[in-house]
Amino acid sequence: MNQRLPVSGAQGDLLRLVATGRAESRADLARLSGLAASSVSLRVEELISLGLLGEEGSGASRGGRRPRRLRLSPSAGVLAVADLGAHHARLGLLDLSGAPLVVEERPCEIARGPEATLDLLSDAFDELLAVHVPDDVPLRGVGTGIPGPVDPATSRVVTPSRMPGWNGFPVAEHLGLRYDLPILVENDANLMAAGEARHWPGCDNLMVLKAGTGIGCGVIVNGHLHRGRGAAGDISHVRVRSDSSVLCACGHPDCLEAYASGAALMSALADAGITVARPADIVSLVDDAIPEATSLVRGAGRRIGEVLTVLVNFFNPDVIAVGGSLSAAEPLITSIRAAVYERCLPLATRDLEIAPARAGRDAALLGAGALLLEAALV
Amino acid sequence: MNQRLPVSGAQGDLLRLVATGRAESRADLARLSGLAASSVSLRVEELISLGLLGEEGSGASRGGRRPRRLRLSPSAGVLAVADLGAHHARLGLLDLSGAPLVVEERPCEIARGPEATLDLLSDAFDELLAVHVPDDVPLRGVGTGIPGPVDPATSRVVTPSRMPGWNGFPVAEHLGLRYDLPILVENDANLMAAGEARHWPGCDNLMVLKAGTGIGCGVIVNGHLHRGRGAAGDISHVRVRSDSSVLCACGHPDCLEAYASGAALMSALADAGITVARPADIVSLVDDAIPEATSLVRGAGRRIGEVLTVLVNFFNPDVIAVGGSLSAAEPLITSIRAAVYERCLPLATRDLEIAPARAGRDAALLGAGALLLEAALV
DNA sequence: CGCTTCATCTTCGATTTCGAAGGAAGTGGA
DNA sequence: TCCACTTCCTTCGAAATCGAAGATGAAGCG
């Protein structure tokens, strides 16, 4: 049941507005699309008779007649999305409004190479589809996040670290052999940013920091993901000020990652005689008020904050959302805030919000859905 | 002769495409606007009969019939644009394709306050119009650059340094009292970036560095000026790594401006017993191979490059254009390049060009024209 | 309760845009 | 030179879109 959406032009725009939750009624659509109300009515009627859109009760009055609420029909289709990590993949199915139908996590060694990994992924998708989706509901798109840089022009992985065999691999092309559908391949931090963006209505410029084993960052400019040449947002190898000198795996001294990533904190804790298995365990240590852990997290936050200082002055975002497994540690955000507010221009921090991410663990999957809906589905 | 352009919707789009030089023929317009060729012909015919557009000879064949070249009629109108500096204003008139008709520089103390300065500006505009523009050619828009932050939402100056009396002043509103026309007010580095952008066709993401008395920076994302909350691109108060510690006028230690601005270099030269009047004089010293000057400029370039490192990783621009009076010093760009290429991710520098600005001394004026044409003129 | 006001949505004729077809004007190869 | 082919531009009927007017349903108010 693979099938491209049979919509084009104006119809597609309207469908997208409903799918992304920006519009709920014909009147909303008229306001947002710029089309005349009459044209909207016509197109909506067509979309309903195509079975893509449905009417469902009525919305809240804004002082006059209540709008008839429009929703994507559940049978309009589903999206299959995944977020590949080093040792496991998070994957699931979304409906066409981008809401998750089912999400699960499977072990998956990315080091086994692209073919094996992607085939495992496709098989998992097929399983989920067979179990959770009726036969007459078509798959409309496939998207996946990759823990490394993706060239936006070619959808190929470029110079990834810790992903042997993936360099230059045409991921989208390979998935396209199995699915004749819109395919999205994107860096995982970028997907997370796209997912987070939907939770900050009215904020067009945001940075999403992913503090986990590594440090990732995605950038939304003007409501759209900024890709640059494929590495945009990569701040992990920025040089930080420091008294000592630590050599990073990349060959340069004093990279942010070597001081403030979950991996760096874990190894520093080990030096202090405290062994933890995952970055998330550091959060528990902080919650238990273990001084070594708290001090380390605070130092990491300060270092991250110092780097963000430059970026806040330069980019002036509305929001910096901090996610990833380390973000649950209270002192992290606090010390990031302190560093940024102390050193940045008042004009840049005037209305700047530095807050925990809102999209939760499935942010990357939701982001993949959002990008598929916005960009890929015509 | 003030008059808003009598165009709307599709007509305006087409006019803009011709004005900005992106389209030269009906066929170009059809390709770029997305309209059908037949619709383009209709609208163009209207624009010609309105006297806004004219046909002028024919262009180069692309293998078939030669296109009839379209140009904005010289009588379609003019724009009045200015770039305010601390002690003088550069101002001029542009035709509707953004090309300068006349440019001049006048002494103008910005410290005399907004009313006096803006009235002087308007008087200068009126003079130029009277001398250089026939009575039947209307003024279509007015734009000016300000050497300080401008809130994009309100077009007010916010927390400027060295501009007493300007804080919170509604510049656009004030000019609007005298001209019932589209008014543009923008930070000077931003205008320079907008002007530079036109000289880098195909490059959608660029940073323009202005190295003069101060250090300014404008950012073009996706072909459009990025404003953020009004301070975007302001990197002059970013903290740099250094052994010593210098206190900047802003109250923080070790700002980039305190080490690498023309003002900082001049004061360092003075300490070495070499007195110069303007940053441009430093360039002559470098050309004469005065070791102190060369070494200072090289150090400034390295420091600027180190800051750019962070921004290149984060933003992944296609081009960094270096302008301003110091940019003529060869070692500046060389050492910026060295710092950036040494430390940035290969993916980010793969196709990155770091080059002297191309738009010349009138960059800001051209930028004002470009922004007026793109944004203000409907 | 009836009245006014408001926002939503539809109807219908006027306008704009499209797209297929074709004429005009050029290039390049046999 | 002729002829095939390309690109540019226009013509004209078909289709999409608009906008004014009105119908619909709900909230607010005396």
pLDDT of A9 over the 80 cut: no
Torsions phi, psi for B326 (to 5 deg): -75, -20
CA to C1' distance (Å), from A47 to C13: 25
Q: What's residue A376's pLDDT?
A: 66
Domain shared by A232 and A296, yes or no: yes
Task: Give the number of domains in chain B.
Answer: 3
Q: Are residues B277 and B160 in the same domain?
A: no
* CA-to-C1' span, A30 to C29 (A): 55
- Say if B313 falls within a structural domain: yes
Whether B2 maps to a domain, the answer reads no
CB of A318 within 8 Å of any CB in chain B? yes
SS (H, E, C) chain A: CECCCCCCHHHHHHHHHHHCCCCCCHHHHHHHHCCCHHHHHHHHHHHHHCCCEEEEEECCCCCCCCCEEEEECHHHCEEEEEEECCCEEEEEEEECCCCEEEEEEEECCHHHCHHHHHHHHHHHHHHHHHHHCCCCCCEEEEEEEECCCEECCCCEECCCCCCCCCCCCEHHHHHHHHCCCCEEEEEHHHHHHHHHHCCCCCCCCEEEEEECCCEEEEEEECCEECCCCCCCCCCCCCECCCCCCCECCCCCECEHHHHHCHHHHHHHHHHCCCCCCCHHHHHHHHHCCCHHHHHHHHHHHHHHHHHHHHHHHHHCCCEEEEECHHHHCHHHHHHHHHHHHHHCCHHHHCCCEEEECCCCCCHHHHHHHHHHHHHHCC
A255 & A351 share domain: yes
Between B132 and A373, the higher pLDDT residue: B132
Note whether A92 and A237 are same-domain residues: no
Q: How many angstroms away from the CA of A259 is the closest CA of chain B? A: 16
Mark whether B213 and B350 lie in a shared domain: yes
Contact A238 B317 (CB under 8 A): no
On whether residue A17 sits in a domain, the answer given is yes
Q: Which bases of chain C are contacted by protein, using any atom under 7 A from a CB?
A: 5-13, 16-21, 23-28
Helix (H), strand (E) at residue B212: none
- My answer on whether A142 and A15 are in the same domain is no
Q: Which residues does chain B have within 8 Å of residue A306's beta carbon, measured at their own beta carbons?
A: 239
Confidence at B156, pLDDT banded by 50, 70, 90: very high
Rounded Cα–Cα distance for residues B80 and B101 (Å): 10
* Mean pLDDT, chain B, whole residue set: 93
Contact B345 A318 (CB under 8 A): no
Q: Where do we find the tokens 């973000």?
A: A327
Domain assignment present for B3 = no
Residue B189 has what pLDDT?
A: 96
Using CB atoms, pick whichever of A229, A316, A345 lies closest to residue B347: A229
Q: Is the CB of A41 under 7 A from strand C?
A: yes
Q: Are A173 and A182 in contact (CB under 8 A)?
A: no
pLDDT in tens, B63-104: 889 999 999 999 999 999 999 998 899 999 999 999 999 999
Does residue A352 sit in the same domain as residue A206? yes
Q: How far is the C-alpha of A253 from the C-alpha of A260, rounded, in Å? A: 14
Range of weakest confidence among A350-354, B12-16, B117-121, B331-335: B12-16
Burial class (CB in 10 A: 0-12, 13-18, 19+), B53: buried
**Please, which pLDDT band fits residue B362 given cuts at 50, 70 and 90?**
very high
Q: Is residue A41 part of a domain?
A: yes
Nearest to B347 among A159, A241, A313 (CB): A159
Residue B5 has pLDDT above 80, yes or no: no
Question: B195 CA to C27 C1', in Å?
Answer: 37
Q: Which residue of B has its CA nearest to A158?
A: B347
DSSP state of B374: I
pLDDT for B162 beyond 90: no
Q: Given CB atoms, is A217 within the 8 Å cutoff of chain B?
A: yes
- State how far residue A101 is from chain B, nearest Cα, in angstroms: 34
Average pLDDT over residues B237-246: 89
Largest Cα–Cα separation, chain A: 71
Residue A61: the pLDDT is 82
Quick check: B316 contacting A, CB < 8 Å?
yes
Which of A316, A350, A352 is the best substitution to test chain B (most B C-beta atoms within 10 A)?
Answer: A316
- How close A276 gets to chain B, by Cα (Å)? 31
Q: Are B69 and B81 members of one domain?
A: no
Q: What percent of chain B has pLDDT over 90?
A: 80
Spell out which residues of chain B touch residue A226, defining contact as CB-CB under 8 Å.
221-222, 315
Residue nearest to nucleotide C10 (CA to C1'): A38
**Closest residue, CA to C1' of D20:** A38
CB contact B251 to A (< 8 Å): no
The last residue of a domain, from among B75, B99, B122 = B75
Which chain B residue has the Cα nearest residue A311? Answer: B311
B376 CA from C16 C1′ (Å): 25
Cα–Cα distances in angstroms (integers) from residue B240 to residues A240, A241, B132, B323, B332, in the given order? 10, 9, 48, 21, 17
Instruction: Confirm if A198 and A370 have CB atoms less than 8 A apart.
Output: yes
Q: What burial letters (b/e) apply to A247-269, b meaning 16+ CB within 10 Å?
A: ebeeeeebbbbbbbbbbbbbebb
Q: B35: which nucleotide lies closest, measuring CA to C1'? A: C17
Q: Which amino acid is at B283?
A: V
Amino acid B2: pLDDT: 57
Residue B26, CA distances (Å) to B7, B36, B50, B309 in order? 18, 10, 17, 43
How remote is the C-alpha of B151 from its chain's centroid? 17
Where is the domain boundary, B17, B51, B75? Answer: B75
Indicate whether B185 and B252 sit together in one domain.
no
DSSP B2: B
d(CA A123, CA A49): 33
| B238 and B349 belong to one structural domain | yes
Q: Specify whether the CB–CB gap between A247 and A237 falls below 8 A.
A: no
pLDDT the model gives residue B378 = 57
- Residue A67, domain CATH: 1.10.10.10
Give me A204's structure tokens. Answer: 């067009």
Give the pLDDT mean for A221-244.
Answer: 92
Chain A residues with CB under 8 Å of B235 CB are: 310, 313-314
Partner residue opposite A237 with nearest CB, options B205, B230, B345: B345
Residue A1 in any domain: the answer is: no
Residue recorded with tokens 């270092």: A303
Q: Is B345 on the interface with A (CB under 8 A)?
A: yes
Domain match, A117 and A134 both: yes
Residue B168 makes CB contacts below 8 A (sequence gap 6+) with B156, B157, B158
- pLDDT for B9 equals 75
Residue B238 contacts A where some CB pair is shorter than 8 Å: yes
Q: Please, what's the largest Cα pairwise distance for chain B? A: 71
Residue nearest to nucleotide D11 (CA to C1'): B38
Tell me the C-alpha distance between B78 and B98, whole Å: 9
Q: Is the pLDDT of residue B305 over 70?
A: yes
Asked whether residue A2 is assigned to any structural domain, the reply reads: no
Domain boundary among B57, B75, B93: B75
Q: Express each pLDDT in A134-172 by its tens digit.
A: 999 999 999 999 999 999 989 999 988 889 999 999 999
Q: Is the CB of A9 under 7 A from strand C?
A: no
* CATH code for the domain in which residue A235 is found: 3.30.420.40
Q: Chain B closest CA to A124's CA: distance in Å?
A: 32
Cα separation values, A298 from A128, A339, A352, Å:
42, 11, 21
Contact B347 A311 (CB under 8 A): no
Nearest to A314 among B241, B311, B318 (CB): B311
pLDDT at A12 over 90: no
Each residue's pLDDT tens digit, A73-129: 988 899 999 999 988 999 999 999 899 999 999 999 999 999 999 999 999 999 999
The domain in which residue B165 lies consists of 77-194+363-376
The whole-number Å distance from B9's CA to C19's C1' is 21
Q: Within this chain, do residues B121 and B250 fall inside the same structural domain, yes or no?
A: no
Residue B241 to chain A, least CA–CA distance (Å): 6
In a domain, A352, yes or no: yes
Decide: helix, strand or coil at residue B99: coil
Smallest Cα distance from A184 to chain B, Å: 20
Q: Which of B313, B318, B319, B343 is the best residue to mutate to test the A interface, defined by the most A CB atoms within 10 Å of its own CB?
A: B313
